[in-house]
Structure 1
Amino acid sequence: MDKNKCYHCGDICENTTLTIQDKMFCCNGCKTVYEILSESDLTCYYDLETSPGAAPKEIEGKYDFLSEEKIIEKLVEFDDGKTQIVTLYIPHIHCSSCIWILENLNKLNAAITHSQVNFGKKTVRVTYNLNAFNLKALVILLSTVGYEPYISLDDYKTGKENVNRSLIYKLGVAGFAFGNAMFLSFPEYFEVNEYWLEKYKHVFRWLMFIYSLPVVFYAAQDYFISAYKAIKTKVLNIDIPIALGVIVLFVRSTVEIVFDYGSGFFDSLTGLIFFLLLGRFFQQKTYSFLSFERDYKSYFPIAVTKIINNTEVPVQVYDIKKGDRLLIRNQELIPVDGILINGDAKIDYSFVTGESEAVTKQSGDKLFAGGKQTKGVIEMEAIKSVEQSYLTQLWSNDVFNKNKEEGFTNLTNAISKRFTVIVLSIAVLSTLFWLFVDSSKALNVFTAVLIIACPCAIALSAPFTFGNLLRIFGKKKFYLKNASVIEQLSHINTIIFDKTGTITSNKKSEAVYNGLPLSTEEEVLLKNTLRGSNHPLSRSLYNILQSNNIITLDSYEEYLGQGIQATHASKSIKIGSAKFVGYQSETEVLNTAVHISANNTYKGKFTFYNSYRKGLSKLFNKLKKNFDLAILSGDNEGEKDNLKKLLPSKTKLLFNQKPNDKLEYIKYHQDEGAKVLMVGDGLNDAGALAQSDVGIVISENINVFSPACDAILDATKFNQLYSFIKASKSAVKIIKWSFLLSFFYNVIGLYFAVTGQLAPVIAAILMPLSSISIVVFTTIATNILGKRLK
């Protein structure tokens, strides 16, 4: 290569200072690509052609259409003028090195802030700074490093409905070869000693060898790839014993026919892979069915307010249709893409982009799903339905899971780590034994042990148990973020509840006003200020007060844990705690109260008489037997006596707790070894929910979704919380029982395999049957568990 040319892309180097190992680079981008490839042992990439990093000639001008605004608008998921987010389908994603390169795109171009790969779907979701980068540049960059995305202009999609049929093809190849190998083996099985067999047996054997080649090198390749990667990363996975068994069978069978020692085990080999793939196909179909039943509807039972003929009606988010007019209150999440109609919009897109700076929007501007309104109430028109947006990605995003799952080892991993070591040890020891006793059986024993002890059943237990229970919980209006929440829920020993909006019902609360009469203007201002807030007391008071004219506020500010301040024309109002509105009382207030001041003049207070949720006392009496219980409330001690009567004697009651106090309380108990479940309303409890081991939000016709929560419980099912926790513990017991069944199966199977009484093909048939039996057991058991839930 010319010394003045870039080693990566071939362009002339103007700056000669960028060198690594005597290799010259024209820019930091090319230098970083080389470094990434070098760290991943992928420098052979440069052996394929000269200047592999140069933009291929076939893509020159190919993506000029990505400069058209109308097309870009159809392709990107998010665009606020500063940041764009797009998901691209990359057909060439195939290994961990691909993931490494694509998730380090920010090293190739500093304008790329984040990139995340979905290996299963072969997509990469990229966030970039629009001022320094664009979609066309991104696509060309990806093509330059060998990951050209698929973009369909027919339907303006960055991905295609790609159905992966490779498993079906492999299953077909293995099935065809297995059938023919068995057919060709029959004469020798039945010891037919006719002349034609003596004449053609070698032909039959070599035909079986030929049939086995596509099975071993195509149909079984996934097991070899998985085993190789595991060994390379010094991790023992469940595919290593399978890969070893296939290699042993193939090598031994090939040696037998080459040296005319016998017919080999090609029928067993092809049958083994066929039944393995059949078990995997069954698993894939069953699990995809469970996943389908837990679609986007399972994530968001929360309601959003829809305006119909000037009437505000709460509807579930997945009932939103294009053209619906929606009311978004302060701190509510925008559930679908839409157009701002009126109101003072200040949108926080930190859930989407990671940028905490709120964006101001004007009437007519586009609003994206996932943004949170932070300044009063706005009205918008939906331009998509919820399943077309990426709102559901936010809650299940791994970014919000990392802290809680650190140090948490699930049951399957804890057992499977040791399983492979034990199986390999048994296989080696039993083979050594038979080498001395009867060497003709040694390889049969080694292969049969590896096959019969395949821990597929163990690998299937947890996904099917938890997957089915997720579906059942969803039908019972208890919506979990992912399967690991069930296992974490089964380990909790401490439960902490918020009070207002959690153990109290917003719908049945009563309020009495004491103070100076409010003027008509003040009543209208009060009503409209409350209209913009999602705090449980605000919602209760808003529903209690008589209907007033709807007005657009000039300003609106909500102060977390304190109150609300708003202005309209020459009038101002403060609603919240006594301290917030500037009122100092000589006597201690015993009941929960909302104080009001207008134009800096104290007017009075609404005193609330809480209505507690149905079955609260019964629920706490069930929980007290197994859990430490506590109530953490931001309100004063006015309800302390009532709560003492309702709740068990050992329940801790703490009042006047700020959001940060709740978080610190949970953290303290976790440091003492407690596994904490936090149950809150999702508004003032985000920090506590995030800190807890499991955080549950109670949903009652409000849209205050927070990625901090792990589950959403419909308010009508609050009294069944104990049943859901109990079911989670039972699910772990079901998995342990299925492990026990698998263990007994393996012990019996290993006995026959080690003693040389089990042929590999029989082991291959029994193995998927055991997996299927585990799936059937876990499905039936979880369905019975579901029926016990009322």
Structure 2
Amino acid sequence: MDKAEQIKSCFHCGEDCNDGIILHDDHDFCCQGCKTVYTLLNDTGLISYYEIDKDSPGSTIKSNHTNKDFLDLEEVKRQFIDFTEGSRNKVTLYLPSIHCAACIWLLEKMEQLNPGVYRSEVNFLRKEVTIHFNSDVVSLKELVILLEDLGYPADLQRDRTKREGGKESKKLLLKLGVAGFAFGNIMLFSFPEYLSLDDASLDSFKVLFNYLNLGLAIPVLLYSSVDFIKSAWKSLKVRFLTIDVPIALGIITLFGRSAFDILSGSGPGYFDSFAGLVFFLLVGKWYQSRTYEALAFDRDFKSYFPIAVNRIKDDKEEVCMLENIEQGDRLRLLNNQVIPADAILIKGIASVDYSFVNGESDLVEKREGDYLYAGGRQTGGAIEVEVIKEVSQSYLTGLWNQSTFSEQADEKRFSALIDRVSRYFSIGILSIALLTLAFWLWADPTEAFDAFTAVLIIACPCALALSMPFASGNVSRILGKLGFFVKNASTLERMANTDTVVFDKTGTLTKAHTTSVRFEGKTLSQAQVEMIKSVVSNSTHPLSVAIRDHLAGPIKMVDQFEEAAGKGVKAIVDDKKVLLGALSLMPDSVTQKLPEGAFNESVVHAWIDDAHQGYFLIEKEIRKGIPALVRELQVNAETYLLSGDHEGERERMEEIFGKNATMRFKQSPMDKLDFIRGLQSNNHQVIMLGDGLNDAGALKQAEVGIAVADDVFSFSPACDAILQADRLAQLADFLRYIKRSINIVKMSIVISLLYNVVGLFFAVQGLLTPIVAAILMPLSSVTVVAFVSFLTSVIRPRG
């Protein structure tokens, strides 16, 4: 037995055991690292990992565990840790070795490999893993070493985006160059065949040229076409057929047939068609990627996230949009506002809700000097913070889209139907191709493999699969420019299917800024005025904003601030208790006796120092265009009004919604939630519009929750979309546009199916060569994507 036969492959990573064999459990391992990982998986009940990719699921573990002690330094950990509170931490690491389903399966089982891991989630496209872990049990350094032991060393270079920019494109161009070089030279060596030169003296040259063509075709097969073949092989191993399966089969068939012809001396083969096929497939892939880059929207919504906060500059407050926040800025955050970037608390006591970040609903109290993480929400009095990290809008929108605030996938969704059609598309194509091969082997064997290959190549579900993502991306981008910010494609689909629109009143139909505020009751002293202004200045509710703007005087420190949804606010100012809000917040001794003419106004009672002082009457101006909007919506949908105000508003609202409209007043947040559930129980698909403060539950319950944002944006994670208040009158136009866009997607699918039917019609008859099919295949998907993007731009709402 020679040496080559004695070399065995490692059971874990599949590499040759050149440096000796380590035998364990009747398996061969190339190194101690691979044996350790096998033992770890076996001991934790994850041995089925090797069944997912039987060929070679693991990555090689030959690592010298370079010094990772720097990861124990606090200043270094802070660069990598996304969130930490006590012992609970969250980190996202880039793992370049992620390459298949087995990788995902193993990395998402990390809680079974180490008891300090709560859970782990893989983003396959980004090659990233997000790990929630207990730092009392496992450190960041130990996690990185564990990943390295598993064969997934973390790339700890933070500026990965710049370093990798264009890398994949360069690889593609290199493969394209190799295929193009081979294609041109194979055609050159094939000229004797093209010219049908029968001179016997040229026979030896023909044989030489044929073998040269074979030599040129080999790197095309092993290098230029390897991505198609690898992708097909991986999908077959997980029992899933992708479009690369028929393409890879066509490539291998054409090469195999041509190699057999030359080696057997039965003919010159079809290496010109083979090289041309791969060349044009790669040209199509490159052209597709360039076209998609030109048409693509930013999937991180980096320019779409409309949060504004109060920035303190030169001792004055100013409204500052998220993208304008800089490191070192001092921000004043009010109750229910999201912390936009990592910051240090410099004034006040923070009570932070981090459920937006980690799903935990427990409030975390922070004192001056403590570190606050982006994505937390302040609940309580106003605080001042200093920004110490740049704002990452993509991080915030990633939180917005994470599963904590996302509904489960609806199998009836339109895109789910597309996914299922695309999945079975390849099965149908393979069946047609085999039938075509069988027919032509019987009718004319010389045409059989060309027809077989053409069928495999011409059919492409890419346009079918890409039409919805590109349509939703273009629609999201267009709507974003018009002030309507949609979370994701699923939201657009649900919005297109809705038949009911429910409005909240205060802050939604009415402006945040008011035309009239008056106080009825005892005469307020200046000290009491300042107390009231100080309390309402901690709230973003429209009525609080109205009172704050109406009153003059400085703002004092507030203690024990609380805001009860649908009721009001309370706090301690100058050691005196202050209550401001609805009658339900007041002690039982307070009764509501409103003066004549007060029934079109919102009422905010004031209780200071154990005495009812009176109430503010706030007349809110209806936003411009609302009556016309409601009439337009009522043509195709049912409309409802829910309000926390008293019945005195009914007459004014009937002028907008009609006398027979369903309007409910004195609605608590739970009442609004129950009303939405009642509509859904009667098979209504509901859009709920509110300010996100007193109606977060209703927004989340509705099929689509839209938060209407005024001058100071109060972002609600429960919402599916954010609509700038000055664009509310255009809501009917936006909904009409979304429904038309979904119809355009349906049209694009029809076009895609027609292309495939016509292409297959010619291919099965042997009227298409593989090269022509390779040219038409990518052009079809580019054409459909361009069609979708162009039409969704043409029919865009004006504004």
State whether TM-score is above 0.5: yes
Residue 298 of structure 1: how far off its partner (Å)? 2.8
Contact 1:448 1:759 in 2 (8 A): yes
Match of 1:111 in 2: 116
What displacement does 1:8 show? 10
Structure 2 Cα separation of the partners of residues 742 and 752 of structure 1: 16
Match of 2:64, SS state, is helix
After TM superposition, the structure 1 = structure 2 runs for residues 61-460 of structure 1, keeping only pairs within 5 Å, are 62-152=67-157, 161-163=163-165, 164-165=167-168, 166-194=171-199, 197-291=202-296, 296-387=301-392, 390-403=395-408, 405=410, 407-410=412-415, 412-460=418-466
**Runs of 4+ displaced beyond 6 Å:** 1-11, 23-30, 43-46
Corresponding position: 1:462 with 2:468: yes
Taking a change above 3 Å as real, the CA distance of residues 38 and 740 of structure 1, as seen in their structure-2 partners, is closer
Instruction: Give CA deviations for 1:181-217 in whole Å, capped at 9, x if unaligned.
Output: 3333333223233456422222222232233333333
Distance 2:558 2:709 in 1: 27
Q: 1:33 to 1:280 in 2, by over 3 A?
A: farther
CA distances 1:644-671 after superposition (whole Å, capped 9, x unpaired)? 1112456431222222332233233334
Change beyond 3 A, Cα 1:760–1:157: closer
1:320-357 per-position Cα deviation (integer Å, ceiling 9, x unaligned): 11121111001110001112110111111121122222
Letter in 1 for 2:630: F
- Given that 1:624 and 1:648 are in contact with CA atoms closer than 8 Å, whether structure 2 keeps it comes out as no
Q: Alpha carbons of 1:503 and 1:107: their partners in 2 closer, same or farther (altered >3 Å)?
A: same
The within-5 A match list for 1:483-498 is: 483-498=489-504
Q: What is the Cα deviation at residue 532 of structure 1?
A: 0.7
Deviations 1:741-786 (CA, angstroms, capped at 9, x unpaired):
2233223322221221111111111222222222322222122123
SS in 2 for 1:390: helix
Alignment of 1:435-584 (within 5 A): 435-546=441-552, 548-582=553-587, 584=590
**Alpha-carbon distance in structure 2 between the residues aligned to 1:610 and 1:132:** 55
Evaluate the alpha carbon distance shift between residue 453 and residue 25 of structure 1 in structure 2; reply closer, same or farther with a 3 A threshold.
closer
The answer to whether the 8 Å contact 2:351/2:366 transfers is yes
> Is the 1:663–1:688 contact (alpha carbons within 8 Å) kept by the matching residues of 2?
yes
Q: Does 1:711 align with 2:721?
A: yes
Once the two structures are TM-superposed, the CA of residue 97 in structure 1 deviates from its matched residue by 1.1
Q: Do the aligned residues in 1 keep the contact of 2:288 with 2:778 (CA within 8 Å)?
A: no
Shift in Å, 1:418 = 4.6
Query: Which SS does the other structure have where 1:679 is aligned?
Result: strand
Q: Provide the rounded CA distance (Å) in 2 between the counterparts of 1:381 and 1:203.
A: 75
Counterparts of 1:31-46 in structure 2, within 5 Å, are 31-32=43-44, 34-35=46-47, 37-38=49-50, 40=52
Instruction: Kindly state the Cα deviation for residue 98 of structure 1 after the two structures are TM-superposed.
Output: 0.9
Task: Say whether the 8 Å CA contact 1:480–1:712 is kept in structure 2.
Answer: yes
Counterpart of 2:511 in structure 1: which amino acid?
S
Distance in structure 2 (CA, Å) of the matches to 1:393 and 1:620 = 33
Aligned match for 2:776, one of 745, 759, 766? 766
Check conservation: 2:354, 2:363, Cα contact below 8 A: yes
2:670 is aligned to 660
Q: Which residue of structure 1 lines up, in the alignment, with residue 647 of structure 2?
A: 637
Q: Aligned partners of 1:241, 1:26: CA distance in 2, in Å?
A: 35
Q: More deviation in 312-321 or 33-42?
A: 33-42
* Counterpart among 769, 779, 798 of residue 789 in structure 1: 798
Query: C-alpha offsets along residues 553-590 of structure 1, whole Å, 9 cap, x if unaligned?
Result: 12211112211110023211101111211254365884
SS at match of 2:666: coil
The more displaced of 218-227 and 688-697 is: 218-227
Taking the aligned partners of 2:776 and 2:24, their CA distance within structure 1 comes to 63
- After superposition, give the CA deviation of every residue in 1:660-718 in whole Å (9 maximum; x if it has no partner): 33223323333433222222212222222222222221111334222222211111111
So what's the TM-score if we normalise by structure 2?
A: 0.89
Q: CA, structure 1 residues 177+8, in 2 after alignment: closer, same or farther (shift >3 Å)?
A: closer
When residues 481 and 192 of structure 1 are mapped into structure 2, their CA distance, relative to the original with a 3 A threshold, is farther
Cα deviation, residue 735, structure 1 = 1.7
CA distance in structure 2 between the partners assigned to 1:10 and 1:230 by the alignment: 29
Classify 1:781/1:187 alpha carbon distance in 2 versus 1 (closer, same or farther; 3 Å): farther
* Counterpart in the other structure of 2:7: none
Report the alpha carbon displacement of residue 42 of structure 1 after superposing the two structures with TM. Answer: 5.7
1:15 matched residue in structure 2: none
Q: Using the TM superposition, name which of 620-629 and 261-270 deviates more.
A: 261-270
| TM-score w.r.t. length of structure 1 | 0.90
Residue 699 of structure 2 corresponds to residue 689 of structure 1: yes
SS in 2 for 1:678: strand
Q: Deviations over 1:135-180 (max 9, x none)?
A: 111111111111111224xxx6688732342333333333333333
SS of 1:645's partner is helix
- Map of 2:737 onto structure 1: 727
Number of residue pairs the alignment of both structures matches = 768
Over 3 Å counting, the alpha-carbon distance change for 1:751 and 1:292 in structure 2 is closer
Q: Relative to structure 2, which stretch is displaced further, 382-391 or 325-334?
A: 382-391
Contact 1:89 1:159 in 2 (8 A): no
CA contact (8 A) 1:340 1:367 kept: yes
Aligned equivalent of 2:4: none
The one-letter code sitting in structure 2 at the alignment partner of 1:420 is: S
Q: Look up the SS of the partner of 2:326 in the other structure.
A: coil
Report the 3-state secondary structure (helix = DSSP H, G, I; strand = E; otherwise coil) of the residue aligned with 2:173.
helix
Q: Contact between 1:304 and 1:701, CA under 8 Å: does it hold in 2? A: no
CA distance in 1, matches of 2:566, 2:607: 17
> Hey, what's the Cα distance between the residues in 2 that align with 1:3 and 1:99?
26
Task: Look up the equivalent residue of 2:84 and give its one-letter code.
Answer: D
Q: Is the 8 A contact 1:93 1:99 kept in 2?
A: yes
* Greater mean deviation of Cα atoms: 445-454 or 263-272: 263-272
| SS at 1:113 equivalent | strand
**% identical aligned pairs:** 41
Distance in 2 between the 1:731 and 1:695 partners?
Answer: 20
Give the Cα–Cα distance (whole angstroms) in 2 for the partners of residues 332 and 666 of structure 1. Answer: 25
Whole-Å Cα distance in 2 between the matches of residues 683 and 36 of structure 1? 48
Alpha carbons 1:298, 1:479 under 8 Å: kept: no
Alpha-carbon distance in structure 2 between the residues aligned to 1:65 and 1:480: 41
Gaps of 5+ in 2: 1-21
The one-letter code sitting in structure 1 at the alignment partner of 2:510 is T
Q: Which residue type is aligned with residue 525 of structure 1?
A: M
Once the two structures are TM-superposed, the CA of residue 296 in structure 1 deviates from its matched residue by 4.6
Kept in 2, the 8 Å contact 1:267–1:761? The answer is: no
Structure 1 CA distance for aligned equivalents of residues 130 and 55 of structure 2: 26
* Distance in structure 1 (CA, Å) of the matches to 2:418 and 2:579: 55
Q: CA deviation at 1:297?
A: 4.1
CA distance in 2, matches of 1:221, 1:554: 66
Contact 2:514 2:618 in 1 (8 A): no
RMSD of equivalent CA atoms: 3.1
Distance 1:176 1:505 in 2: 67
584-593 or 185-194, which deviates more: 584-593
Alignment partner of 1:59: what SS?
A: coil
Asked if the contact 1:512–1:607 (Cα under 8 Å) also holds between the matched residues in 2, the reply is: yes
Structure 2 partner of 1:18: none
